[in-house]
């Protein structure tokens, strides 16, 4: 029973993903409204020549905040892990 | 520690690596690049030093506790800049139009000016500090661990 449900869920998920991929905007072919808006207005709104930087730090700033959080968590994890291993080595 | 030739070349080369990394960070709003990329360049310079001189030699001048402080400070500056525009909305570019990094470039292709971008150069700088300190701390910790050295508490 559980296997049937799992297969059913998998098929539904794959169908949704394939439908989403087929419905997606064609890559690079005519630019969407959002691209046009950002290319036309990023210099006036964010005083920024680099549209990529404007998108990263202004329009999609929350995404960059998450990226920075991921980096912070990774560094904290590595330092904690190596320190714990060193302590364990010293007095087993 | 590697041979004297490698150490001398690394000693000369680290200046150029640092200058290039800081250039990429501080021109992130004009040219391609930004905080993450420039920070990775500077951290690769630190990796070069660790390879050339050995982690015990680097440990004397580059402490992990200081690196942690710099990284947390970068994160705090970043979030602080985001909260400073809270009068309008989170991540609002409140410095546009002011004399401090606020010059608005003309629409369309132009030579570019460093004094533009609002909060974006400052955020690039904060993220650059964060990436420099974070990647250097990770690489230093791994080098110290693999060489069996005692890590600073």
Radius of gyration of chain A (CA): 23
Contact B38, B22 (CB under 8 A): yes
Could you tell me the pLDDT band of residue B11, with boundaries at 50, 70 and 90?
Answer: very high
Q: Where are the alpha helices (DSSP H) in A1-92?
A: 2-23, 33-46, 51-54, 61-90
Question: So what's the ipTM on this one?
Answer: 0.84
pLDDT in tens, B92-135: 888 888 888 888 888 888 888 888 888 899 999 999 999 999 99
Contact A79, B141 (CB under 8 A): yes
Interface test with A, best of B138, B140, B142, B149 (most A CBs within 10 A): B138
Q: Give the SS3 label for residue B151.
A: coil
- Would you kindly state where each structural domain of chain A is located, as residue ranges? 2-90
Inspect the interface and report whether the beta carbons of B134 and A74 lie closer than 8 Å: yes
Contact A64, B81 (CB under 8 A): no
Interface test with B, best of A38, A52, A53, A87 (most B CBs within 10 A): A53
pLDDT in tens, A15-72: 999 999 988 877 777 667 888 888 888 888 888 888 888 888 888 889 999 999 999 9
- Would you kindly state where each structural domain of chain B is located, as residue ranges? 4-146
Query: What burial letters (b/e) apply to B52-66, b meaning 16+ CB within 10 Å?
Result: bbbbeebbeebebee
Beta bridge partners of B116: B103
Contact B52, B6 (CB under 8 A): yes
pLDDT in tens, B53-75: 988 888 888 888 899 999 999 99
**Is any Cβ of chain B less than 8 angstroms from the Cβ of A51?**
no
């Amino acid at each position: 029973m559980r296997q049937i449900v799992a297969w059913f869920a998998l098929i539904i998920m794959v169908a949704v993903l394939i439908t989403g991929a087929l419905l997606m905007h064609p890559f690079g072919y005519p630019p969407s409204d959002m691209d046009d808006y950002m290319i036309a207005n990023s210099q006036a709104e964010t005083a920024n020549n680099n549209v990529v930087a404007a998108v990263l730090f202004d329009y999609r700033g929350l995404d960059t905040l998450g990226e920075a959080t991921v980096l912070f968590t990774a560094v904290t994890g590595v330092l904690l892990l190596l320190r714990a291993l060193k302590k364990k080595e010293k007095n087993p | 520690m590697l041979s004297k030739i490698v150490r001398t070349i690394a000693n000369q080369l680290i200046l150029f690596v640092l200058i290039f990394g800081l250039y990429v960070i501080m021109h992130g709003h004009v040219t391609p690049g930004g905080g993450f990329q420039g920070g990775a360049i500077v951290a690769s310079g630190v990796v070069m030093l660790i390879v050339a001189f050995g982690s015990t030699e680097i440990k004397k001048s580059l402490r992990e506790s200081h690196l942690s402080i710099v990284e947390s400070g970068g994160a705090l500056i970043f979030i602080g800049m985001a909260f400073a525009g809270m009068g309008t909305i989170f991540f609002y570019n409140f410095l546009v139009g002011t004399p401090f990094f606020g010059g608005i470039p003309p629409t369309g292709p132009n030579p570019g000016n460093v004094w533009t971008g609002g909060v974006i150069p400052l955020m690039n700088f904060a993220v650059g500090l964060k990436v420099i300190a974070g990647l250097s701390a990770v690489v230093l910790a791994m080098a110290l661990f693999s060489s069996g050295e005692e890590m600073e508490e």
